[in-house]
Structure 1
Amino acid sequence: MNNPSKVIDLVVNNNLCIGCGMCVSQCTSNALEMSWNDQSFLVASAKNTCDCNGACLNVCPFNPFPKEEVRTENEIAELFLDSATDHHQKIGKFNNIYAGYSKEFRLSSSSGGLGTYISTELLAQKIADHIFSITESSEPGIFYQYSVSSNIEDLLNASKTRYFPVTMATVFSEINNLHGTVAVVGVGCFIKAIRLAQYSDPKLKEKIPFLIGIICGGVKSTFFTEYLGSKLEVEIKNIQKPQFRKKDISSSANDYSFSCTDENEEEKSIKMRTVGDLWGTGLFKNNACDFCDDVTTELADISLGDAWLAPFDNDGKGTNVIVTRSILAESLINKGIENKDLEVDFLALDTFLASQQGSFNHRHTGMSERIKIAKKNNQLVPPKRYEKEEVTLDFKMVQKQRMKVRALSLVLWKNDPDAKVFDEKMQKPLNRLRFYTKIYHKRRRFTYLKSRILEIIKKKIFSKKTFN
């Protein structure tokens, strides 16, 4: 191909494509399409010569060479969230932080039902005429996809968490054919891609008046679904209707199950706590996620996540943490409280920060070490806000091993997709990661206790001098 796309050259070939598909809809040469790579992620691929002069690259959330005015989430937030009244380095611009749930949609949702509630309100109040969100797919083996919901009935089919690769390419290619306005539900990198598109094409700011951000732990390959199906002894080709967050309302919020049906339409399920840590280890995760420092979907109008903190995590029915970042988002929450549709209360900033501490440690503190490793391997990385963080030796070891585990998991499953074989081959690498992590946690606890003791001693000395 005489003129390959910059997205292919700089992003896909550097293993940084997250599959959002925004480049496909913005490439004026119509040179790109989405396809499955050998690690079972959706990525951009070239279908003909590209001559769009970088339009496709400009909307990529992992562009290694972005324009200075949209260099990081900080600059983008200044352009789009000017009504936010507060700011915190870890979570971006915001108005208020809450925890709670929707009385109507709580039990039918993976968490507290706020995503469904906000989406239905956007349609009911005519703020948006359509919602782009993830629904079930009729395509064999492709369980979920982005689709357009233009009424509440269609929307209610999209009220579950889906740990499955999806792309916005199909819906965004049709956005100009839709009458009226659109709201979009997405994870942080997808929301960033939309903001970049709005920056490149200001008309999209009017077309898309509201973005619902879902706090994300990382994008998983389809191998993740296959692995869980294999744990249930369901053949990959026979996996149907996978459900990733099946609640147990009689238990705690994090005591959820994965379920699917087999070729006989018999439902099988497994408690995720019995499977092991598939999130903190990075198993089956997209490489691009290692270069994302947006923990709380900083560029959305409203950010929603799970309340993995006491006392909310004791309630298996589910509770959301909520961050409002625009006047409209704040208004929707307040109206829901006034109408008694929502059971929501303010959440202290420190409490919210504590609920996301694991992600902050990985995505912020460990970022600089991952960038060093990538650059040592001659890989391009996008500019990051935490690329100069100091990392202790023990945490460097954690980062290095976690990157190895992530990459190895994809290779092993591709070569031999059997859960028993996979678990055996991953045992040593995972044990090593746990060992390094244990050392890191012990050192952190020691450092914390040491600082607290010194603080107490200083206070006693100061009070004694004052008394004398």
Structure 2
Amino acid sequence: MSTDPISTIVAKNLCTGCGACAGVFPSAIQMFEDPVNGRRPVVENSIRGKRAAEAAVAVCGGATGDWSDLQCQDDIDADWGPVSSVWQGWAADPEVRQSGSSGGAVTALALFALETAQADGVAHIAARPDDPRLNQAVISRDRAGLMRGTGSRYAQASPAEAIKEIAAGTDRVVFVGKPCDVASVKRVSQTQPSLGDQIPLTISIFCAGAPNLQATDRLLDRLEVPKQARLVDLRYRGNGWPGRMQATWVGEDGTEQTSEGISYAEGWGKILQSERRWRCRMCADHTGALADISVGDPWHTPPADQSEAGQSLIVARTEKGQKLIQDAIRTGVLIATPQSRDVIERAQPNLKNNHGAVWGRTLAMRAVGLPAPKTKGQRLFELWLGLSTKQKVQSVLGTWKRILRERLWRKVSISEVAK
């Protein structure tokens, strides 16, 4: 096994799969899809590869999460990262709203940045045309491009691979990704200021973790997609809030068929979430504290049924993020009403508990000599103390059970891979 630092991060279960290392050093590091371990970097076995990996550690947000530079003014900021303002609303464009995971706010804001010449492109994730089970990093420069990425993609994704294309040009590109992806892109901006200037804005989705390819295949089995069929589309959400999980395929006779679909609750709750990678379970930022804007579901006001038009919780974290949101509302791109800054906890009550549980999980891992991500600038111990006694015990004992069940002491090895 390679002894370079990026391969070591992968082997120790600390990699988030963001793709930043491959985006910055594409000639020596590539991302591959392991059906079990997720989308992970593989370093070229050469002196060039080792040197690239040594330099890439500076842009890796997997081994260490750092909130030290964030301006946290009160308890709300300390729990969630900077929360300047919050709105609940939706995209004024009915097609964007209907197609989006919740209210279409991410797509609406990204499109607004393009149409007002605040950016030349938007880096985001879309399904691979040749295999919709998988994701690819793309840069869209118009509405049609953005629309191919609407709806959540509950599968492994490496949007920071787009850094390769951003660095090759001079365009200003808005970056859209998960909290871990944004964390690594921020590190890129800090280590390479000129490249940081090309990423004028970051938007994070709320995230509860990314399942592996095996989970996707189980979902397809549940949707009764024939093994020999050619998959042409896989929707996890959208077309309502939260929408149904549904697949479209071409059978051996050449006819296109679409599954009846299953509910979000069944697809995520009973099939996908159990295969989230261990690094996701050690995540201490599910809402994108390091982004300029964060967007998630306002589950405290749930839809009456899955066909209902969606709504988004929209969080401004920086001045430039707040300005973009306010301008989008003022010009009618977004329809949104202000919310109290503490609404995130009401909308996503489980996430605060998850952050607290990370401290217990970290304690459990280190107590048996296993590595865990480092966190800086977060009060995870205080959040852990706020858990119930049962939750505290579960965070530790549950981790030890998982260590035994999943054999977390074994080094992660990327083997059965596909680009």
- Could you state the TM-score of these two structures normalised by the residue count of structure 1? 0.76
Number of aligned positions between the proteins? 390
Q: Distance in 2 between matches of 1:232 and 1:312?
A: 24
2:340 is equivalent to residue 348 of structure 1: yes
> For 1:320-343, what per-residue CA distance to the aligned partner results, in whole angstroms no more than 9, with x for missing partners?
001112222222222222223322
Q: Distance in 2 between matches of 1:359 and 1:216?
A: 9
- Greater RCO, 1 or 2 (C-alpha within 8 Å, sep 6+): 2
Q: Distance in 2 between matches of 1:410 and 1:122?
A: 46
User: Which residue in 2 is equivalent to 1:357?
Assistant: 349
User: Which residue in 2 is equivalent to 1:450?
Assistant: none
93 and 170 in structure 1: CA distance in 2 versus 1, 3 angstrom threshold: closer
User: Which residue in 2 is equivalent to 1:174?
Assistant: 165
Q: Distance in 2 between matches of 1:329 and 1:218?
A: 24
Per the TM alignment, residue 396 of structure 1 is displaced from its structure 2 partner at its CA by 4.1
Which amino acid in the other structure matches residue 62 of structure 1? G
Query: 3-state DSSP class of the match of 1:4?
Result: coil
Per the TM alignment, residue 318 of structure 1 is displaced from its structure 2 partner at its CA by 0.6
Q: Distance in 1 between matches of 2:407 and 2:92?
A: 40
User: Which residue in 1 is equivalent to 2:208?
Assistant: 217
2:107 is equivalent to residue 107 of structure 1: no
User: Which residue in 1 is equivalent to 2:357?
Assistant: 366
User: Which residue in 1 is equivalent to 2:61?
Assistant: 61
Q: Distance in 2 between matches of 1:234 and 1:408?
A: 30
User: Which residue in 2 is equivalent to 1:448?
Assistant: none
User: Which residue in 1 is equivalent to 2:249?
Assistant: 262
Query: Quick one: which of 60, 85, 88 aligns to 1:96?
Result: 85
Per the TM alignment, residue 38 of structure 1 is displaced from its structure 2 partner at its CA by 4.9
> For 1:29-52, what per-residue CA distance to the aligned partner results, in whole angstroms no more than 9, with x for missing partners?
x43221223515111112223124
Which amino acid in the other structure matches residue 51 of structure 1? R
Q: Is the 8 A contact 2:300 2:348 kept in 1?
A: no
Unaligned runs of 5+ in 1: 65-71, 412-468
Q: Distance in 2 between matches of 1:140 and 1:282?
A: 21
2:32 is equivalent to residue 35 of structure 1: yes
After TM superposition, the structure 1 = structure 2 runs for residues 317-356 of structure 1, keeping only pairs within 5 Å, are 317-356=309-348
User: Which residue in 2 is equivalent to 1:395?
Assistant: 391
Which amino acid in the other structure matches residue 121 of structure 1? F
Which amino acid in the other structure matches residue 341 of structure 1? V
Per the TM alignment, residue 8 of structure 1 is displaced from its structure 2 partner at its CA by 0.9
Q: Is the 8 A contact 2:174 2:199 kept in 1?
A: yes
Q: Distance in 2 between matches of 1:141 and 1:114?
A: 23
Per the TM alignment, residue 166 of structure 1 is displaced from its structure 2 partner at its CA by 1.6
Q: Is the 8 A contact 1:128 1:180 kept in 2?
A: yes
Q: Distance in 2 between matches of 1:85 and 1:150?
A: 38
2:122 is equivalent to residue 131 of structure 1: yes
User: Which residue in 2 is equivalent to 1:47?
Assistant: 44
Per the TM alignment, residue 179 of structure 1 is displaced from its structure 2 partner at its CA by 2.8
Per the TM alignment, residue 131 of structure 1 is displaced from its structure 2 partner at its CA by 0.8
Which amino acid in the other structure matches residue 358 of structure 2? M
> For 1:268-307, what per-residue CA distance to the aligned partner results, in whole angstroms no more than 9, with x for missing partners?
011233457249x940101111221113101111100111
Query: 3-state DSSP class of the match of 2:180?
Result: helix
Per the TM alignment, residue 169 of structure 1 is displaced from its structure 2 partner at its CA by 5.3
Which amino acid in the other structure matches residue 212 of structure 2? S
Which amino acid in the other structure matches residue 5 of structure 1? D
User: Which residue in 2 is equivalent to 1:25?
Assistant: 23
409 and 291 in structure 1: CA distance in 2 versus 1, 3 angstrom threshold: closer
Query: 3-state DSSP class of the match of 1:366?
Result: helix
Which amino acid in the other structure matches residue 328 of structure 1? K
Q: Is the 8 A contact 2:38 2:212 kept in 1?
A: yes
Q: Distance in 1 between matches of 2:152 and 2:268?
A: 19
232 and 368 in structure 1: CA distance in 2 versus 1, 3 angstrom threshold: same
Per the TM alignment, residue 17 of structure 1 is displaced from its structure 2 partner at its CA by 1.4
126 and 407 in structure 1: CA distance in 2 versus 1, 3 angstrom threshold: farther
User: Which residue in 1 is equivalent to 2:291?
Assistant: 300
After TM superposition, the structure 1 = structure 2 runs for residues 406-421 of structure 1, keeping only pairs within 5 Å, are none
Q: Distance in 2 between matches of 1:213 and 1:324?
A: 11
17 and 235 in structure 1: CA distance in 2 versus 1, 3 angstrom threshold: farther
Query: 3-state DSSP class of the match of 1:93?
Result: coil
Q: Is the 8 A contact 1:98 1:347 kept in 2?
A: yes
Q: Is the 8 A contact 1:32 1:48 kept in 2?
A: no
2:149 is equivalent to residue 158 of structure 1: yes
Query: 3-state DSSP class of the match of 2:313?
Result: strand
Q: Distance in 2 between matches of 1:182 and 1:38?
A: 31
2:67 is equivalent to residue 74 of structure 1: yes
2:202 is equivalent to residue 208 of structure 1: no
276 and 323 in structure 1: CA distance in 2 versus 1, 3 angstrom threshold: closer
Which amino acid in the other structure matches residue 244 of structure 2? S
Q: Is the 8 A contact 1:282 1:406 kept in 2?
A: no
Query: 3-state DSSP class of the match of 2:321?
Result: helix
- Could you state the TM-score of these two structures normalised by the residue count of structure 2? 0.84
User: Which residue in 2 is equivalent to 1:439?
Assistant: none
2:180 is equivalent to residue 189 of structure 1: yes
After TM superposition, the structure 1 = structure 2 runs for residues 377-388 of structure 1, keeping only pairs within 5 Å, are 377-384=368-375, 385-388=378-381
User: Which residue in 2 is equivalent to 1:424?
Assistant: none
* Backbone CA RMSD of aligned residues: 3.0
User: Which residue in 2 is equivalent to 1:375?
Assistant: 366
Q: Is the 8 A contact 2:152 2:238 kept in 1?
A: no
Per the TM alignment, residue 216 of structure 1 is displaced from its structure 2 partner at its CA by 0.6
372 and 230 in structure 1: CA distance in 2 versus 1, 3 angstrom threshold: same
Q: Is the 8 A contact 1:313 1:319 kept in 2?
A: no
Q: Distance in 2 between matches of 1:237 and 1:355?
A: 41
Per the TM alignment, residue 230 of structure 1 is displaced from its structure 2 partner at its CA by 1.0
Q: Distance in 2 between matches of 1:13 and 1:285?
A: 17
Query: 3-state DSSP class of the match of 2:110?
Result: helix
2:144 is equivalent to residue 147 of structure 1: no
Q: Distance in 2 between matches of 1:109 and 1:177?
A: 30
Query: 3-state DSSP class of the match of 1:349?
Result: coil
Query: 3-state DSSP class of the match of 1:161?
Result: coil
Q: Distance in 2 between matches of 1:73 and 1:313?
A: 39
Which amino acid in the other structure matches residue 5 of structure 2? K
Unaligned runs of 5+ in 2: 409-419
Per the TM alignment, residue 114 of structure 1 is displaced from its structure 2 partner at its CA by 0.7
